[in-house]
Amino acid sequence: MATYNKRGYKAPKPEEAKVENEFEEVIDVKDSTTAEVFNTLDETASKTEDWVAKNQKILLGIVGAIAIGTLSYLLYNRFVVEPKEEKAANEIFQAQQYFQQAVDATEKNDSLYNLALKGGEGKLGFLAVAEQYEGTAAGNLANYHAGMAYLNLGDFKNAITYLEKFKSNDAILKPIALGAIGDALSETNKVEDAIAHYKKAAEASENDFTTPRYLFKAAQLSLTAGKKAEAHKLFVEIKEKYETSKEGMNIDAFIAMTE
């Protein structure tokens, strides 16, 4: 029998047929894998939906609790914290006036410091504000002023007590409070602790006002305590970093003294 090729038909080569079969197998595998992934996702989604449905009351309770907690916090701040802060600020004002008058006086005035501590003219003093308005900004500030008032009155124990209660990150007040504790400790002959607090005060906020001031106090007390090398190191630091400050004006003489 005669053989012939039909017009337009070309028999595939063995290699081409093999490639086509492999390609079809890959597609089948991909389709199968994709189907499995989607089936898994469907099953996971279905399980999630079932879990949500079963625990709907619990979830709603959690969401409700968060909403109530947020609202309660906002209301508490609006109607409790803010009015308390405002009232505390009004109460402390008169005590601050007494304190400033005492600081500005040409001669030491213990009566003004006592009025600042205990109050007058129907207003609370720092002690009462610190106690009654604890947790407020004014209550915290009252601790600082009370500590400084006691320091000026020579009551170093109470000065330390109230100054240690004062918490602040203010660049000036924080180092001054730490330095004032150092002053109180120095007055009670707790030299090591005093030096440590002066150093803390110097490091609390590096600036041209408080840093050289407390470095100098730490150096002077170190020199008095016989720690000549430590004093020398601190005097040199003032010269290198704060030579233009008040403490740096005659610093060469102190450096020479400790060499």
Distance separating alpha carbons of residues 168 and 171, to the nearest angstrom: 9
Q: What's residue 17's pLDDT?
A: 45
Residues 167, 74: Cα–Cα separation, whole Å: 25
Q: Report, at the CATH architecture level, how domain 168-259 is classified.
A: Alpha Horseshoe (1.25)
What is the three-class DSSP state of 123?
A: strand
Q: Are 218 and 238 in contact (CB under 8 A)?
A: no
Query: Which residues of the chain carry a pLDDT beneath 50?
Result: 1-9, 11, 16-27, 29-30, 71-77, 79-80
- Report if pTM > 0.75: no
Q: How far apart are CA 69 and CA 145, in angstroms?
A: 36
In the chain, what are the domain boundaries? 168-259
- The pLDDT, as a whole number, for residue 45 is 59
pLDDT value of residue 88: 82
Count CB neighbours of 166 within 10 A.
23
The CA distance from 16 to 36, in Å, is: 30
pLDDT on residue 62: 65
